Chain A
Amino acid sequence: DTEVTQTPKHLVMGMTNKKSLKCEQHMGHRAMYWYKQKAKKPPELMFVYSYEKLSINESVPSRFSPECPNSSLLNLHLHALQPEDSALYLCASSRPGQDNSPLHFGNGTRLTVT
């Protein structure tokens, strides 16, 4: 069983819809991440939150809006997406800092934009 839980598992949305992806972890990790993974490609970093503050934004379009309400939860709000945004969205968490703390990933949300 994964220790990082993502909901929903699958999401189909139109280009005018507003939806949110949710991620939860209870490992006490203070860094949380959103990655985007296209088919047959490695994950690409989108956002990093460290101690509930946005620390990294990898030049992601504003139609993706992250939110970290508390140390256990991470949301990704979606609005006016394009078909090319269809992908697997992965959430991860870790201990931030100067060590080789691995990232723990959820099983992802498979997003299809129609």
Chain B
Amino acid sequence: AQSVTQLGSHVSVSEGALVLLRCNYSSSVPPYLFWYVQYPNQGLQLLLKYTSAATLVKGINGFEAEFKKSETSFHLTKPSAHMSDAAEYFCAVSAPSNAGNMLTFGGGTRLMVKP
């Protein structure tokens, strides 16, 4: 079974600082990996997804993630945090089939940005 683990349920950074949110996956096959963001009282918005075409994936809002097979990781980064980045971030792995693309989420990381 595929799974993802997010290290750190809470991360706090200062505005302008580097953001690093950690995600490790467990999969016996090449995984389909995603990062989603959830702002308060909203649904989940796709930040980026991993495709086998490139190990460095660029997403929306200046975020990017690097797929490292040797470390089974897909960490999310942003060079400079903005106050508007404060939200809950979920790493997820997909098991696609004709029955649907079932997402399994990590536990989530709440990002807090200090002025």
A6 → chain B closest CB, angstroms: 8
Q: Is A48 within 8 A of B102, CB to CB?
A: yes
Q: Is A66 an interface residue (CB 8 A)?
A: no
Determine the chain B residues whose CB is within 8 A of the CB of A50 once the complex forms.
98-100
| Of A2, A6, A90, A97, the contact of B96 (CB 8 Å cutoff) | A97
Q: Is A101 within 8 A of B96, CB to CB?
A: yes
A43 → chain B closest CB, angstroms: 6
A28 to B10 CA separation, bound complex (whole angstroms): 37
A42 to B94 CA separation, bound complex (whole angstroms): 15
Determine the chain B residues whose CB is within 8 A of the CB of A95 once the complex forms.
101
Number of contacts between A and B (CB, 8 Å)? Answer: 83
Q: Is B28 an interface residue (CB 8 A)?
A: no
Determine the chain B residues whose CB is within 8 A of the CB of A103 once the complex forms.
44, 46, 101, 103
| Of B43, B101, B108, the contact of A96 (CB 8 Å cutoff) | B101
A106 to B32 CA separation, bound complex (whole angstroms): 21
A49 → chain B closest CB, angstroms: 8
Q: Is A100 within 8 A of B99, CB to CB?
A: no
Q: Is B90 an interface residue (CB 8 A)?
A: yes
* A83-114 interface (Cβ within 8 A of B): 90, 92, 94-108, 110
Residue-wise, chain B 54-97 has the 8 Å CB interface mask toward A (1 for contact) of 00000000000000000000000000000000000010001011
Determine the chain B residues whose CB is within 8 A of the CB of A41 once the complex forms.
107-108
Determine the chain A residues whose CB is within 8 A of the CB of B94 once the complex forms.
100
A1 to B10 CA separation, bound complex (whole angstroms): 28
Q: Is A55 an interface residue (CB 8 A)?
A: yes
Contacts A42-B105, A42-B107, A105-B44: A100 and B100 contacting too (C-beta < 8 A)? Answer: no
Nearest to B107 among chain A residues (CB) is A42
Q: Is A96 within 8 A of B97, CB to CB?
A: yes
A8 → chain B closest CB, angstroms: 14
A99 to B96 CA separation, bound complex (whole angstroms): 6
| Of B41, B49, B96, B106, the contact of A98 (CB 8 Å cutoff) | B96
For this complex, 12 residue pairs linking A to B, each with C-beta atoms less than 8 Å apart, are A42-B90, A43-B90, A45-B103, A50-B99, A56-B100, A96-B98, A96-B99, A97-B96, A100-B51, A102-B46, A103-B103, A105-B36
